[in-house]
Amino acid sequence: MKLCIIGHPVSHSLSPAIYGRFFEKIGIDATYEAVDILPEEFAAKIASVVQNFNGFNVTIPFKEKIIAHVVSQVEPPLSAINCVFEGRGYNTDWIGFGKPLLERSIAEPVMVIGAGGAARAVIFFLRKAGVKRVKLLNRTLSRAEKIKEEFEIPGRFEISVFPFQSIREVASRSMSIVNASSLGMNGEETGITSEELVGMSLVYDLIYWKTPLIKLSNDCGVETVLDGRDMLLHQALENLRIWGLPSGEVFEKAFWEVVQ
């Protein structure tokens, strides 16, 4: 079986090492590689990926663009695909994001940073989980407004949109924070300070290493601090199910050997 992850950039991805370790442990003939595609070359190269790989994962910035090239199995209004198998597209991000939260109450309002495919998965889960108030920040307001238009249910699920520059003010009026953007991937600060994090119930950064936001949240005693490794694990288990591969304890062991 040939598998891969596509995106730009993908050199930081841990997935090839994780799946490679897993395939070695269970002794199956399968490969998983990283395929970096420049955004301007996506349309020309995606057909070859679909034809030459049994399945693949999709990361930034192609989770929405891929929809036109596969048969979507995604429930509206999610409109983002991160897992493909035999030409059919799925979203395992929302499941991966949500699994670590199922046994926890989510304090509101929830501030979500970002308006790409990952943010759509986050908001999709929050809506399913019964959260009623979300504050959405993004540098490009039109993308955030589009999510509000597609996901909001007046009176039941309210989304307020804010410019990124107001991040400290919005954080100070939130009880949970989710970073669904790439901010922090290269060590950048979000702009959130310890002042806003005092009394915060949840900080969940989807980047899967210790970002400045994660470090600051731990230092400030935030009640629950999660990083992208939690999401990556549960998303990967769902990928394996879709690809018809075994999962369970052997995969989890391989996963933590690579990411810890």
Residues acting as catalytic residues: 63
Q: What is the largest CA-CA distance in the chain?
A: 52
Residue (of 253, 217, 204, 257) closest to 93 by Cα position = 204
245: which 2 tokens?
């591969």
d(CA 75, CA 124): 10
Is the CB of residue 114 less than 8 Å from the CB of residue 228?
no
The dihedral built from the CA positions of residue 130, 131, 132 and 137, taken in this order, carries a sign that is negative
Residues 221, 210: Cα–Cα separation, whole Å: 15
Contacts of 257 (CB under 8 A, 6+ apart): 21
> What DSSP letter does each residue of 7-66 carry, written as one string?
ESS-TT--HHHHHHHHHHHHT---EEEEEE--GGGHHHHHHHHHHH-SEEEE-TT-TTGG
- Residue by residue, DSSP assigns 158-179 as EEEEEEGGGHHHHHHT-SEEEE
